[in-house]
Protein backbone atom coordinates (compact mmCIF):
# COMPACT_ATOMS: atom_id res chain seq x y z
CA UNK A 1 0.00 0.00 0.00
CA UNK A 2 1.30 3.45 -0.83
CA UNK A 3 2.52 5.46 2.14
CA UNK A 4 0.25 8.37 1.25
CA UNK A 5 -2.77 6.15 1.95
CA UNK A 6 -1.64 4.69 5.26
CA UNK A 7 -1.32 5.67 8.90
CA UNK A 8 2.03 4.09 9.73
CA UNK A 9 1.27 4.10 13.46
CA UNK A 10 -1.57 1.57 13.36
CA UNK A 11 -0.74 -1.15 15.88
CA UNK A 12 -4.10 -2.93 15.81
CA UNK A 13 -2.55 -6.03 14.24
CA UNK A 14 0.04 -6.65 16.98
CA UNK A 15 -0.06 -7.46 20.65
CA UNK A 16 1.96 -5.02 22.71
CA UNK A 17 3.13 -6.48 26.03
CA UNK A 18 2.90 -4.55 29.26
CA UNK A 19 5.98 -2.45 29.84
CA UNK A 20 5.41 -1.85 33.56
CA UNK A 21 8.62 -3.64 34.64
CA UNK A 22 10.91 -2.01 32.06
CA UNK A 23 13.08 1.10 32.12
CA UNK A 24 13.65 3.13 28.96
CA UNK A 25 15.94 5.85 27.76
CA UNK A 26 14.90 8.40 25.18
CA UNK A 27 17.58 10.38 23.38
CA UNK A 28 16.16 13.23 21.32
CA UNK A 29 17.86 15.63 18.93
CA UNK A 30 17.27 19.34 19.44
CA UNK A 31 17.74 20.13 15.74
CA UNK A 32 14.38 20.36 13.93
CA UNK A 33 12.81 20.81 17.36
CA UNK A 34 9.24 21.18 16.10
CA UNK A 35 9.46 17.66 14.71
CA UNK A 36 11.64 16.01 17.36
CA UNK A 37 9.51 17.40 20.20
CA UNK A 38 6.44 15.82 18.59
CA UNK A 39 8.31 12.52 18.20
CA UNK A 40 9.38 12.69 21.84
CA UNK A 41 5.84 13.40 23.03
CA UNK A 42 4.57 10.44 20.98
CA UNK A 43 7.17 8.05 22.42
CA UNK A 44 6.88 9.30 26.00
CA UNK A 45 3.06 9.24 26.04
CA UNK A 46 3.02 5.77 24.49
CA UNK A 47 5.35 4.41 27.18
CA UNK A 48 3.20 5.95 29.92
CA UNK A 49 0.06 4.51 28.28
CA UNK A 50 1.70 1.07 28.43
CA UNK A 51 2.35 1.32 32.17
CA UNK A 52 5.94 2.57 32.30
CA UNK A 53 6.37 4.66 35.44
CA UNK A 54 7.57 8.22 34.82
CA UNK A 55 10.62 7.59 37.00
CA UNK A 56 11.57 4.71 34.68
CA UNK A 57 11.92 6.95 31.63
CA UNK A 58 15.26 8.73 31.30
CA UNK A 59 15.40 11.51 28.71
CA UNK A 60 18.51 13.09 27.24
CA UNK A 61 18.67 15.90 24.69
CA UNK A 62 21.54 16.09 22.22
CA UNK A 63 22.29 18.86 19.71
CA UNK A 64 21.44 16.97 16.51
CA UNK A 65 20.76 13.57 15.00
CA UNK A 66 24.46 12.89 14.53
CA UNK A 67 24.89 13.03 18.32
CA UNK A 68 22.16 10.45 18.99
CA UNK A 69 24.75 7.67 18.90
CA UNK A 70 26.99 9.14 21.57
CA UNK A 71 23.96 10.21 23.63
CA UNK A 72 22.64 6.64 23.60
CA UNK A 73 26.08 5.28 24.49
CA UNK A 74 26.41 7.69 27.44
CA UNK A 75 22.92 6.89 28.68
CA UNK A 76 23.52 3.14 28.51
CA UNK A 77 26.81 3.59 30.36
CA UNK A 78 25.27 5.40 33.34
CA UNK A 79 21.66 4.12 33.55
CA UNK A 80 20.23 0.64 33.85
CA UNK A 81 17.65 0.64 31.05
CA UNK A 82 16.11 -2.15 29.02
CA UNK A 83 16.10 -0.19 25.74
CA UNK A 84 16.93 3.24 24.33
CA UNK A 85 14.83 5.12 21.80
CA UNK A 86 16.73 7.53 19.54
CA UNK A 87 14.60 10.29 18.00
CA UNK A 88 15.74 12.75 15.36
CA UNK A 89 14.90 14.31 12.04
CA UNK A 90 17.17 14.82 9.04
CA UNK A 91 15.62 16.67 6.11
CA UNK A 92 17.16 16.41 2.64
CA UNK A 93 18.98 19.53 1.57
CA UNK A 94 20.94 20.57 -1.49
CA UNK A 95 24.18 18.86 -0.46
CA UNK A 96 25.27 15.30 0.39
CA UNK A 97 25.27 16.19 4.10
CA UNK A 98 21.94 14.32 4.41
CA UNK A 99 23.47 11.06 3.15
CA UNK A 100 26.48 11.23 5.45
CA UNK A 101 24.42 12.04 8.55
CA UNK A 102 21.75 9.40 7.91
CA UNK A 103 24.33 6.69 7.22
CA UNK A 104 26.43 7.60 10.26
CA UNK A 105 23.41 7.66 12.59
CA UNK A 106 22.00 4.35 11.35
CA UNK A 107 25.36 2.60 11.66
CA UNK A 108 26.16 4.27 14.97
CA UNK A 109 22.88 3.24 16.57
CA UNK A 110 23.48 -0.34 15.45
CA UNK A 111 27.00 -0.32 16.92
CA UNK A 112 25.81 1.07 20.27
CA UNK A 113 23.16 -1.64 20.44
CA UNK A 114 25.75 -4.35 19.79
CA UNK A 115 28.27 -2.82 22.22
CA UNK A 116 25.79 -2.77 25.13
CA UNK A 117 23.74 -5.83 24.09
CA UNK A 118 20.58 -3.74 24.50
CA UNK A 119 17.96 -2.63 22.00
CA UNK A 120 18.69 0.85 20.65
CA UNK A 121 15.82 1.94 18.45
CA UNK A 122 16.16 4.02 15.26
CA UNK A 123 13.39 6.61 15.46
CA UNK A 124 14.95 9.06 13.05
CA UNK A 125 12.92 10.62 10.27
CA UNK A 126 14.85 10.89 7.01
CA UNK A 127 12.56 12.92 4.78
CA UNK A 128 12.74 14.94 1.60
CA UNK A 129 11.01 17.97 3.12
CA UNK A 130 9.43 19.46 6.23
CA UNK A 131 5.90 18.47 5.19
CA UNK A 132 6.86 14.78 5.08
CA UNK A 133 8.43 15.13 8.53
CA UNK A 134 5.27 16.72 9.95
CA UNK A 135 3.16 13.95 8.40
CA UNK A 136 5.24 11.40 10.35
CA UNK A 137 5.45 13.35 13.62
CA UNK A 138 1.78 13.28 14.55
CA UNK A 139 0.32 14.08 11.12
CA UNK A 140 -1.56 11.97 8.62
CA UNK A 141 0.98 9.13 8.72
CA UNK A 142 0.99 8.79 12.51
CA UNK A 143 3.91 9.38 14.84
CA UNK A 144 7.28 7.68 14.37
CA UNK A 145 7.93 8.32 18.07
CA UNK A 146 5.06 5.99 18.95
CA UNK A 147 6.40 3.42 16.50
CA UNK A 148 9.82 3.61 18.14
CA UNK A 149 8.22 3.13 21.58
CA UNK A 150 6.36 0.03 20.35
CA UNK A 151 9.60 -1.36 18.98
CA UNK A 152 11.43 -0.64 22.25
CA UNK A 153 8.74 -2.42 24.29
CA UNK A 154 8.71 -5.41 21.96
CA UNK A 155 12.50 -5.70 21.92
CA UNK A 156 12.77 -5.37 25.71
CA UNK A 157 10.20 -8.15 26.03
CA UNK A 158 12.07 -10.37 23.55
CA UNK A 159 15.30 -9.92 25.51
CA UNK A 160 13.49 -10.64 28.79
CA UNK A 161 11.88 -13.77 27.34
CA UNK A 162 15.16 -15.06 25.94
CA UNK A 163 16.88 -14.51 29.28
CA UNK A 164 14.39 -16.72 31.16
CA UNK A 165 14.34 -19.54 28.59
Task: Print burial letters for 6-42: b (CB count within 10 Å at least 16), e (below 16).
Answer: eeebeeeeeeebebeebbbbbbbbebbeebbbbbbbb
**Cα gap 7→140, rounded to integer Å:** 6
The answer to whether residue 51 is catalytic is no
**Cα gap 52→26, rounded to integer Å:** 13
List 21, 51, 97, 116, catalytic entry: 97
Give the pairing of strands 137-139 and 142-143: antiparallel
The catalytic site residues sit at: 97
Amino acid sequence: MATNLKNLSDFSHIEIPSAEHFRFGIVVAQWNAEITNALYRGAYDFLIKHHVAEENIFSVQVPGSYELTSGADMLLTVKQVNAVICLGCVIQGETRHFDFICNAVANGITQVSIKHNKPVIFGVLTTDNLEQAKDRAGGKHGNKGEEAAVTAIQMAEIKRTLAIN
